[in-house]
Amino acid sequence: MPRFAANLSMLFTEVDFLERFDAAAAAGFSGVEYLFPYDFPVDVIKARLDANGLTQVLFNLPAGDWAKGERGIACHPERVEEFRAGVDKAIAYAQVLGNTQINCLAGIRPQGLDDASVEQCFVDNLKYAAEKLQAAGIKLVMEMINTRDIPGFYLNTTAQALAIRDKVASSNLYLQYDIYHMQIMEGDLARTVEANLAVINHVQLADNPGRNEPGTGEINYRFLFEHLDRIGYQGWIGCEYKPATTTAAGLGWLKTHNAI
């Protein structure tokens, strides 16, 4: 059965961020992921991981001003230098935290630019990041996100991500497959994951509609977990959902879906 990581940007939000490491371990998780570590000294996060025996599974490259609605800068030609500085910052954190994969958020498509210019910027930035991360022993993943939750987000489907990956032409670029986002954008989840298993390095989950825990919506997670196990998926599954009530009250899905 795949390993499950608590997404600390979505779970245990009733306590301060650093306390969520303790809460995740107490709930039985062995790994954690979150949006960004950069608001905290890296040694402080490392101490929380070590104290709880947790694996640092994933975080994102710096993605612009999140509080103001920015959701990545990788497809913004005027911010290439900022993107590259963010790659260096992410590597510095990852090397201390033992994090072996980092996600690149494409961002919301900039207005006033032709499609070719936006795509070329994204491809060039991914090439740069993939090379730098590979030298540091870290894998680069990119995430497809639905246009309902983030209107205008540039990377939306598996087919588009695969086409971008071909243009980047790096063995160090993988897909982060978020089941919730892809159920909204394209469906056909099991066959898509199986067909592209070799290039999927991370999976995330939430049910649909609502983006709550498994068992609250239309997605057959019991089947999908068994399917991932059957086809040999070796990575983590990040639990990036909004608890329908509280995190603790909603954790029963782990048992009912044979996830523990």
Q: Which residues are catalytic?
A: 143, 240
Residue 112 sits at the vertex; the CA angle it makes with 108 and 114, to the nearest 5 degrees, is: 85
Give the whole-angstrom CA distance, residue 127 versus residue 142: 12
Give the whole-angstrom CA distance, residue 46 versus residue 97: 6
Q: Is residue 35 within 8 Å of 105, Cβ to Cβ?
A: no
Q: Is residue 60 within 8 Å of 51, Cβ to Cβ?
A: no
Bridge-partner residues for 173, per DSSP? Answer: 140
Residues in the chain: 260
Amino acid code (one letter) for 105: L
Closest by Cα among 60, 50, 45 to 25:
50
Give the whole-angstrom CA distance, residue 222 versus residue 258: 7
Other Cβ atoms within 10 Å of 160 Cβ, number = 15
SS3 73: coil
Closest by Cα among 225, 144, 221 to 177:
144
Task: Please state the φ and ψ torsions of residue 76, each to the nearest 5 degrees.
Answer: -105, 105
Q: Is residue 111 within 8 Å of 101, Cβ to Cβ?
A: no
Bridge-partner residues for 139, per DSSP? Answer: 101
